[in-house]
Amino acid sequence: MSIDELSIGLDQPPNQLILDGAALFLDLDGTLAPIAARPEDVRPDPRRNTLLTKLAQRLHGRLAVVSGRSLDDIDRILEGRIACVAAIHGLVRRDAHGVVGEAPQHPGLAAARAALIDFVAADPRLLMEDKSLSLTLHYRLAPDRAQEAVDLAERLATVTGLALQPGDMVVELRTPGASKGDAIRAFMAETPFRGARPVFLGDDMTDEHGFFAAQQLGGYGVLVGPPRRTAARYRMEGVEATLAWLEQAR
């Protein structure tokens, strides 16, 4: 997948999502929950979690949350209601039977962790999130430090061999390995997803591999947020529009 393959001519999604024969894959931050200044500021929400529970039941389990957060954090926010979860962008995956598989830790994480701890120590507006298999540097509260943060992450990626993954006011150093698209493909090869039509909703560049996988597997992606080049077929405005669309599914 290259930028040349991506389009900005996006349509509004169908008025109603048809659940019969569909498999639903959902990003969390920016898709099901508004982006927060700090990861811990996103908390359980009765409307969202009740909706996801109902959708999972109606889809007979063909629903998975595919997020950059850790598995424990996803379970905290969703109150453990969703069985199928891909965490840390696909490096950790829990299947419909509750079996968890994860990539081995990269040896470069220790050095990167030490460098990031030193970097954030001097500025309380900066935050380093340790997800075991990846390290995320958040600078949303310190936009004036953005270039420093990115430069540091780029140097660390070069020195350690960790994969560099930019996001919305964050930069992540992660163990090389599975993407969100790989996670979707793995779910689609298993019961109860096998043979269904994948629909993936996500908001940022980390979701592009997921959009591409859904398209390859006969489904489609829905970009949540402002228009941009994307492999998604459709677009909706934001979290509120996403929740309303899912609530109208039949």
Give catalytic residues, as residue numbers: 27
pLDDT in tens, 135-175: 999 999 999 999 999 999 999 999 999 999 998 899 999 99
Asked if the model's pLDDT at residue 244 lies above 80, the reply is yes
CATH class assigned to 18-103+177-247 = alpha beta
pLDDT at 73: 97
Domain boundaries, the chain: 18-103+177-247, 109-174
pLDDT tens across 40-92, in order?
A: 999 999 999 999 999 999 999 999 999 999 999 999 999 999 999 999 999 99
pLDDT at 123 over 90: yes
* DSSP state at residue 157: H
- pLDDT, tens digit, 9 for 90 and up, residues 2-40: 545 566 667 778 788 999 999 999 999 999 999 998 899
Superfamily for 109-174? Trehalose-6-phosphate phosphatase related protein; domain 2 (3.30.70.1020)
163-166 sheet: strands from edge to edge: 127-130, 134-138, 170-174, 163-166
Q: Which residues, 6 or more positions from 224, have their beta carbon under 8 angstroms from its beta carbon?
A: 27, 30, 31, 201, 202, 203, 235, 236, 237, 238, 239, 241, 242
pTM of the model: 0.93
